[in-house]
Amino acid sequence: MAAPQSQNALVRWIDRRLPVFTFINHELNEYPTPKNLSYWWNFGSLAGIMLVIMMATGIFLAMEYTPNVNLAFDSVERIMRDVNWGWLIRYIHMNGASFFFIVVYIHIFRGLYYGSYKEPRELLWILGVIILLCMMATAFMGYVLPWGQMSYWGATVITNLFGAIPVVGNDIVTWLWGGFAVDNPTLNRFYALHYLMPFVILGVVGLHIMALHTNGSNNPLGIDRKGPQDSIPFHPYYTIKDSFGLGVFLIIFCIFVFYFPNALGDPQNYIRANPLQTPPEIVPEWYFLPFYAMLRSVPDILFIKAKLAGVLTMFGSIFLLFILPWLDTSPVRSARFRPVYKWWFWLLVIDVFALGAVGAHRPEGWWIVIGRFGTLYYYIHFLIVFPLLGIFERPLPLPTSISAAVTKGGGKLAGASAPMEKP
């Protein structure tokens, strides 16, 4: 559809040479969006906004931070005490990481529930998993920078994991460290890479949105748009809805930033890193806990030592996500019409929470049992349940079209303010 000619001569002049205005008009005003998107669809834009917030606060923090093992901790405390509004920028960045993950995890589970990873959106999903991986790397390296006890020991534990790789493992670890242990070279390079990765994420997000716009958004019914009666323009309908969702989200975010800024963090990271003193518990940030649980759950298996087995299990859990579109054999997208799948989905949610709890505790007693069952279930869910359900489940009859099915539009107000107490 051609863009209507603007009244404004300057706009026409620019657009003829670089069609930004046509582009914006196409993507915002003309782009057909299903009319029945629920509040679960707000989380994509929220993730994008969190990325911008993290980059903005990160750049201004980077102006004050010193990536040297003798100076890093003090430079962060200087930001907290001496830099104008430094405490605010730091707390936003620190809690922003947590909230970025909350938003992205909800966004992912939305995709799992409504089958947003299915044809023709497989690449969209894969790009999303790549974004998740990049986020995890960025967050891991970022956490090392304050050079607290958890920064140092978390870095030590996770980099040591690569030593499990047969033959070349130890060389890789030394290469990662730039020395004999996590030390100044490691800190410096993590700083450089932590600054770089968000721009990589930005690029992949661009591809992710391009892939999205190729076929348009999925919707809660999981059926394709049949025509203009099923769609509404993105602007103003979803711009205002996303803005409202953003408002609700920011309220919750600001409650944490201003009133509970350290609730999601580990207090031990307020202790300077001490290579000669291991903390009683080494725990990653909450958003890594389920993966941490999987890592520690696996015992020696056959000829594979527990360390390597754990590493493979942990990375495997993300690899599974890459091949997800091909694991699910069901022709039906949305769990609304898959009565059996729905239960398994919630079981997965409980499983992930349980694994998170396991990751937070020392691996002893019942925690080991829960951890092993939880890890096993995760794999069973994707490798066995997914393929089999597609074959054996009898789905509910699908509505003929979106506009036929829509009475109330299918939005739940509670969606945007849902589970923020994710531990």
Partner 1 sequence: MADTAQPGPMAAHGHEGGTRRDFLSIAATAVAGVGAACAVWPLISSMNPARDTLAAGAPIDVDISKIQPGQQIIVLWRSRPIYIVNRTKAMQDIIKADKDAGSLRDPNSNANQQPPYAKNIFRSVKPEFLVLVGICTHLGCLPEFTPQAGGSLGPSWQGGYFCPCHGSKYDLSGRVFQNVPAPYNLPVPPYHFISDTQIRVGENPSDSTFDFNSIEQI
Partner 2 sequence: MRRLAPTLIKGALIGAGLLLAPIVAQAQEETPLPRTSWSFDGPFGTYDRAAVQRGFQVYQSVCSNCHSLNLVTYDDLGPNGPGGGIGYSEDQVKGIAAEKEVTDGPNDQGEMFQRPARPSDHFVPPFPNDQANRAAHNGALPPDLSLIVKERAAGLGALPWSASGADYVYDILTGFKNPPPNEKLPDNSYYNEYFPGHHIAMPPPLADDTVSYSDGTKATTAQEAHDVVTFLTWAAEPTMEDRKRNGAKVLIFLVVLTGLLYAAKRKIWAGVH
Positions in the binding site for partner 2 (CB under 8 A): 35, 74, 77, 80-82, 87-88, 91, 232, 236-237, 240-241, 243-244, 247-248, 250-251, 254-255, 257-259, 261-268, 270-271, 281, 283, 286, 339, 342, 346, 349-350, 353-354, 356-357, 360-361, 408-409, 419, 421, 423
Binding residue (CB under 8 A) for partner 1 from 66, 160, 188, 239: 239
Binding residue (CB under 8 A) for partner 1 from 10, 17, 70, 84: 84
Q: How many residues does the chain have?
A: 423
> CB-based contacts of 254: which residues, under 8 Å, 6+ apart?
none
Q: Is-catalytic flag, 241?
A: yes
Q: Minimum Å distance from CB 15 to partner 1?
A: 9
First to last CA, the chain: 47
Q: Is-catalytic flag, 342?
A: no
Identify whether the C-beta of residue 166 lies closer than 8 Å to the C-beta of residue 303. no
Q: In degrees to the nearest 10, what's the CA dihedral of 98, 103, 108, 112?
A: 120
Q: Is-catalytic flag, 213?
A: yes
Could you tell which of partner 1, partner 2, none binds residue 64, using a CB distance below 5 to 8 A set by kind? partner 1
Given the rule CB under 8 A, which of 79-87, 114-122, 130-138, 265-273 is the region that contacts partner 1? Answer: 79-87
- Calpha distance 5→12 (Å, rounded): 7
Q: Is the Cβ of residue 131 or residue 257 nearer to partner 1 in the bound state?
A: 257
Q: Is-catalytic flag, 328?
A: no
Q: Is-catalytic flag, 242?
A: yes
Q: At 262, phi and psi to the nearest 5?
A: -110, 10
Residue 115: both structure tokens together: 């089958």
Q: What is the 3-state secondary structure (H, E, C) of 2-67?
A: CCCCCCCHHHHHHHHHCCHHHHHHHHHHHCEEECCCCHHHHHHHHHHHHHHHHHHHHHHHHCCCCC
Provide the annotated active-site residues: 213, 217, 241-242, 285
Residues that bind partner 1 (CB under 8 A): 1, 3-4, 6, 11, 21-22, 24-25, 28-30, 32, 56-57, 60, 63-64, 78, 81-86, 88-89, 228, 231-233, 235-236, 239-240, 243
